[in-house]
Structure 1
Amino acid sequence: MRGGKNNFVADAPLVDNLGKGFVVSGTVRKAGSCEGLGNVRVQIWASTERGGEGEASNRGSVMTAADGTYRLETSPIVPNFGQAHIHMSYDDEAFEPVFLRPLLKSREDTSIAVDFNLAPVADDAAGS
C-alpha cells in the first residue's frame, strides 16, 4: 500500500465497538486451504463522524470467532482525502502481515464486507 502502514499502531486494544451506524465484517481464512482462522486479531481504523483516523476512539481490534468470522460496528465513515474508506490490518507472528484500504462505494454505505486470506510465515530455518 502506498504510504506504508498508514497510521497502523501495533496491538490496538480489543473493543466491543467504535460507535454505531456502520458495520465492518468478513472472514479470515488460511491461504491455500481457505480454512476459517479462529482467534485471529483484526485491526480496524477509519475517519468517522467522531474524528480522523488517528483518533484513538476510531481504532480498535476484534478477534475472529472459531469459524474465522469477525464483525465490528463503528460510527459512520466520512471521506478522507476525497474517498470514503477504512483501514484494516492483520499483523501477528503466525502469518504474513496484511494491510488493506477498502473503499466504500458511496458515503451513504452502512456496511462493508472484507475477507482476509493469510499466508503462513515462511520458516527461514527450513532453508538453512
Structure 2
Amino acid sequence: MRGGANNYRPGAPIVERIGGGGFTMTGTVRRAGDGRPLPNQRIQIWAHTTEGHERDWHSHGATLTDEDGVFQMDMPQIVPAFGQPHGHLAYDSGDFKTVFLRPVMSSAKDTRLEAHFVLEPA
C-alpha cells in the first residue's frame, strides 16, 4: 500500500535496531526499468509498537541496503493503530524519487513484515 507519510521524520538516524526485538521489517530496493538491486540506499522505518507510538522519536530509525539491495530492521512487535497493524517506510536519500510505503500486516500476531521498493531516478 502506498502512502504513510504521516509522522515521517526527515533525517532519522541510522540504527542497528529500533528498541527491543521480537519483530523484523525486511525488504528490497530495486531500480525501475531493469530491476537491478540498489546497494547503500537509506530506508527509514517507523511504526506503532509495544514500546511506543509511531509519532515517538524512539519508534523511528533508518537502515541501509546491502549489496543485494536488501534491508532488515529488528524492532518491537507492531500493534494495531487506527484499526490495522501496519508499518511505515520511506526512501528519501535523494538519488531517486521519494517513496512512502504503508504495508498492512495480515494479522497482529505476525512477527515479520516485508516491503519492496522500486525506485525511479529523481
Is TM (by shorter chain) over 0.5?
yes
Match of 1:125 in 2: none
| Paired residue secondary structure (2:21) | coil
TM-score (norm 1): 0.90
Please give the root-mean-square deviation of Cα atoms over the aligned residues, in Å. 1.2
Distance (Å, rounded) in 2 between the aligned partners of 1:109 and 1:5: 23
Amino acid at match of 2:95: A
Amino acid at match of 1:11: G
- Count of aligned residue pairs for this structure pair: 120
- In structure 2, stretches of 5+ residues that fail to align are none
1:11 Cα shift? 1.0
Match of 1:55 in 2: 56
Amino acid at match of 1:15: V
1:81 aligns with 2:82: yes
1:92 Cα shift? 2.2
| Paired residue secondary structure (1:114) | strand
| Paired residue secondary structure (2:83) | coil
The CA deviation string for residues 93-113 of structure 1, in whole angstroms up to 9 with x for no partner, is 210010011000010000011
TM-score (norm 2): 0.94
The CA deviation string for residues 14-48 of structure 1, in whole angstroms up to 9 with x for no partner, is 01011200101111000111100000000000000
1:7 aligns with 2:7: yes
| Paired residue secondary structure (1:57) | helix
The CA deviation string for residues 56-98 of structure 1, in whole angstroms up to 9 with x for no partner, is 1110000000110010011000110111000000012210010
4+ residue stretches of structure 1 with deviation over 4 A?
none
- In structure 1, stretches of 5+ residues that fail to align are 122-128
Amino acid at match of 1:7: N
Amino acid at match of 1:90: Y
1:5 Cα shift? 2.0
